[in-house]
Amino acid sequence: MNDQESTTHFGFSQIPRSEKVRRVGQVFSSVAQRYDVMNDLMSFGLHRLWKRFAVELAHIRPGQSVLDLAGGTGDLTRLITPLIGEKGRVVLGDINGAMLEVGRERLLNEGIVVDVIQLNAENLPFANNSFDLITIAFGLRNVTDKEAALASMYRVLKPGGRLIILEFSQVYLPPLKPIYDLYSFRILPLMGKLVAKDEDSYRYLAESIRMHPDQETLKNMLIDVGFERCDYHNVDGGIVAVHRGFKL
């Protein structure tokens, strides 16, 4: 195994591949209790609109089965549940137990009962052709082996099923880029320090966005593992993008 194969990025740092799950786990365990507050603050509430847009693009129908990957505190699950109705099923999955506990408690407090499973997206513990829809919001960039995760998602989707990826992406408006960089690397870590008491985790989050594949690269990754009719929709100048792929 060469150096490129044995290491991966953790933000802007290179670390052993075997260390990434643990390091990312530490980040999200640290911020779990303040995660939702920080999402509202650092996106000025826009993350709620981004998530609604992603769910709209999924064209969910009553009775469908949905896997909400990297679902964390349950924002997408909360939006999806009323759309599938009583005969549908939502599974909330995340690799991080602390995030899942926050999500489970929030959902139960709102009267929403779903299956909650701690899992690794690279090796999903479900049979082939299990779900009509898989969503993953702001989680793919934290996965060590993205190709393996996408292939695993493809495997467990039913024929005719679709994948929706909502993720921070590459800003394509030149005037916006310096402002976004200033915000990401100066203001965001400061907010993390003051609100979540964790400057380093939010510095990592800013760096991880820059290391994530750009829109076209991610689209081609979907195609490479078998997805068809792949497209993406840029939102707010490419700060985020919603990718779709279909298993036909």
Binding-site residues, please?
A: 73, 94, 120-121
Provide the 10 A C-beta neighbour count for residue 57.
18
Number of domains in the chain: 1
Q: What is the pLDDT of residue 37?
A: 85
Q: Is 158 exposed, middle or buried (0-12, 13-18, 19+ CB in 10 A)?
A: middle
Q: What is the pLDDT of residues 165-183, one digit of tens each?
A: 999 999 999 899 999 999 9
For the chain, the first-to-last Cα distance in angstroms comes to: 35
Q: Is residue 103 part of a domain?
A: yes
Q: Is residue 11 part of a domain?
A: no
pLDDT of residue 239: 95
Residue 113's region, left for phi above 0, alpha for psi from -120 to 50, else beta, is: beta
In angstroms, the CA 70 to CA 1 distance is 29
* Element of type H or E holding 37: helix 35-43
Q: Has residue 195 been placed in a domain? A: no
Two structure tokens written together for 227:
């997805």
Check residue 77 and give its pLDDT: 98
CA distance 97 to 200: 20
Tell me, yes or no, whether 181 lies in a domain: no
Q: What CATH code is carried by the domain that includes residue 72?
A: 3.40.50.150
Q: What was the pLDDT predicted at 132?
A: 98
- Binding site residues for S-adenosyl-L-methionine, as ranges? 73, 94, 120-121
Tell whether the torsion through CA atoms of 138, 51, 37 and 169 is positive or negative.
positive
Q: From the CA atom positions of the chain, what is the Rg in Å? A: 17
Flag whether 37 is in a domain. yes
Whether 178 is in a domain gets the answer: no
Q: Which two tokens mark 175?
A: 């005037």
**For 49-59, how does the pLDDT look when each residue is reduced to its tens digit (9 = 90+)?**
999 999 999 99
Return the pLDDT at 28. 86
pLDDT for residue 2? 44
pLDDT (0 to 100) of residue 97: 93
Domain residues for 119? 28-173+202-246
H helices present in 110-173, as ranges: 146-156
* β-pair type (131-137, 65-69): parallel
Helices (H), 68-226: 75-84, 97-109, 146-156, 176-182, 188-191, 199-211, 215-224
Q: Which amino acid is present at 142? A: N
| Tens-digit pLDDT profile for residues 75-92 | 999 999 999 999 999 999
Residues of the chain under the 50 pLDDT cut: 1-4
132 within 8 A of 212, measured Cβ to Cβ: no
Classify residue 238 by its DSSP letter: G
Residue 21 lies in a domain: no
